[in-house]
């Protein structure tokens, strides 16, 4: 899918192992709009993290990334991320696009105070340390942290929520245009998740950020995102505005995922898990990868991988029976009302 003002274009991106025989990202293409919050959702093992790593050309060996990743700067120039030198790539990953990983504790050096992480990052990128540390204090304050306490603390002296917010501040200290977050709140309790979502919305508006939020938790991303993309078996299967995916999704998997999500308005008997499990990279079925779990699957589905087609403007679905899915797989909440999920499981 293309957008009016893309900041990142991903064209036919694939990540393979075993000499190209095993796909963990299977020819994904999409554009990310400048200034939007894009949510990427799917079950564990669906390829979400590979999608995130691909944007930064950060696939761990022995994986191989192919395709095209284009980054469009504000000045009108375009960077081909896969053609960057090692030094250019290092600068790109912090100064243009930055990432927040799951589990802040594993991202910090336990022997170094938080302030040392900020100073080390600034020095590594030849940034002015004095002004950079002032900006770090501003970012920490934006995230409702006491800058002096946090900067003089070791990671273990902070709670999990404080560590994660400090990591978000660190990821923004070099003022990148794009912030990619890979399951950033997975280890946090429900109240802290909600708090961080609110803070992220404030940061996005204040600093004019583009955000890509990766999670298995559909209710969580539904609260935050302007646009959502659903992944299954290493492919993007549905992309659209939040309202399109929540209220009028066309892929049987998306609709099943919504029905598997705890909803405070729905009777308990209407909430059901998705039967079966997503395929492993070495065992992806022929044809549509969701066919073994899909109640609408036909011989066509089992034989032919569906192409992505437009259902409405800005809403694309990779399914042979998208219109049938809307008619035959009812959503167990009133589409005229706000989707009111209970986060914490995401149906995975």
Tens digit of pLDDT per residue, the chain (348 long)?
556 789 999 999 999 998 888 999 999 999 999 999 999 998 888 999 999 999 999 998 999 999 999 999 999 999 999 999 999 999 999 999 999 987 667 789 999 999 999 999 999 999 999 999 999 999 999 999 999 999 999 999 999 899 999 999 999 999 999 999 998 887 788 888 888 899 999 999 999 999 999 998 888 888 899 999 999 999 999 999 999 999 899 999 999 998 887 766 666 666 678 888 889 998 899 999 999 999 999 999 999 999 999 999 999 999 999 999 999 998 876 554 555 554 444 443
How many CB atoms within 10 Å of residue 130? 9
Alpha-carbon distance of 265 to 312, in angstroms, equals 28
**Angle 191-194-200 (CA atoms, 0-180°, nearest 5)?**
140
Start-to-end CA span in the chain (Å): 26
What three-state secondary structure class fits 24? strand
Give the position of tokens 């893309």.
Answer: 6
Q: What is the pLDDT of residue 98?
A: 96
Q: What is the pLDDT of residue 204?
A: 95
- Angle at which helix 114-124 crosses helix 160-172, to 10 degrees, equals 20
CATH numbers and ranges of domains, the chain? 6-225 (3.40.50.300), 242-328 (no CATH)
| b/e map 260-283, b = 16+ CB within 10 Å | bbebeebeeeeeeebeeebbebee
Q: Parallel, antiparallel, or unpaired: how do β-strands 227-232 and 37-41 relate? A: parallel
Beta strands in the chain (DSSP E): 6-17, 22-33, 37-41, 64-72, 78-80, 97-100, 178-182, 210-215, 227-232, 235-241, 308-312, 315-318
**Angle 194-161-165 (CA atoms, 0-180°, nearest 5)?**
90
Alpha-carbon distance of 146 to 137, in angstroms, equals 8
Alpha-carbon distance of 221 to 234, in angstroms, equals 19
Q: What is the pLDDT of residue 324?
A: 93
What three-state secondary structure class fits 5? coil
Q: What is the pLDDT of residue 1?
A: 56
Integer CA distances (angstroms), 202 to 47, 159, 195, 231, in order: 29, 22, 11, 27
Alpha-carbon distance of 204 to 172, in angstroms, equals 11
């Amino acid at each position: 899918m293309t957008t009016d003002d893309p900041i990142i274009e991903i064209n036919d991106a694939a990540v393979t192992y075993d000499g190209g025989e095993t796909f963990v990202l299977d020819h994904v293409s999409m554009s990310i709009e400048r200034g939007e919050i894009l949510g990427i959702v799917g079950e564990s093992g669906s390829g979400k993290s590979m999608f995130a790593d691909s944007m930064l050309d950060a696939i761990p060996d022995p994986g191989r990334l192919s395709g095209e990743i284009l980054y469009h700067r504000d000045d009108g120039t375009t960077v081909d991320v896969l053609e960057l030198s090692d030094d250019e790539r290092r600068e790109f990953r912090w100064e243009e696009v930055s990432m927040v990983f799951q589990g802040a504790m594993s991202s910090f050096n336990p022997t170094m105070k938080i302030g040392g992480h900020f100073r080390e990052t600034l020095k590594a990128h030849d940034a002015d340390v004095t002004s950079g540390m002032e900006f770090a204090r501003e970012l920490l304050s934006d995230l409702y942290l006491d800058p002096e306490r946090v900067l003089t603390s070791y990671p273990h002296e902070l709670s999990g929520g404080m560590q994660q917010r400090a990591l978000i501040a660190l990821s923004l200290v070099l003022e990148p245009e794009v912030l990619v977050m890979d399951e950033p709140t997975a280890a946090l309790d429900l109240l802290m998740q909600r708090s961080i979502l609110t803070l992220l919305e404030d940061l996005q508006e204040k600093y004019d950020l583009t955000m890509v939020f990766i999670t298995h938790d559909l209710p969580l991303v539904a609260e935050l995102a302007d646009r959502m993309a659903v992944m299954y078996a290493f492919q993007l299967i549905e992309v659209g505005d939040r309202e399109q995916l929540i209220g009028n999704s066309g892929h049987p998997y998306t609709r099943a995922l919504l029905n598997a999500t705890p909803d405070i308005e729905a009777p308990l008997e209407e909430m059901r898990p998705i039967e079966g499990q997503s395929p492993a990279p070495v065992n992806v079925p022929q044809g549509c990868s969701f066919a073994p779990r899909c109640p609408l699957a036909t011989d066509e589905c089992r034989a032919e991988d569906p192409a992505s087609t437009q259902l409405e403007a800005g809403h694309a679905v990779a399914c042979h029976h998208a219109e049938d899915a809307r008619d035959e797989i009812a959503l167990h909440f009133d589409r005229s009302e706000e989707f009111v999920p209970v986060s914490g499981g995401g149906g995975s």
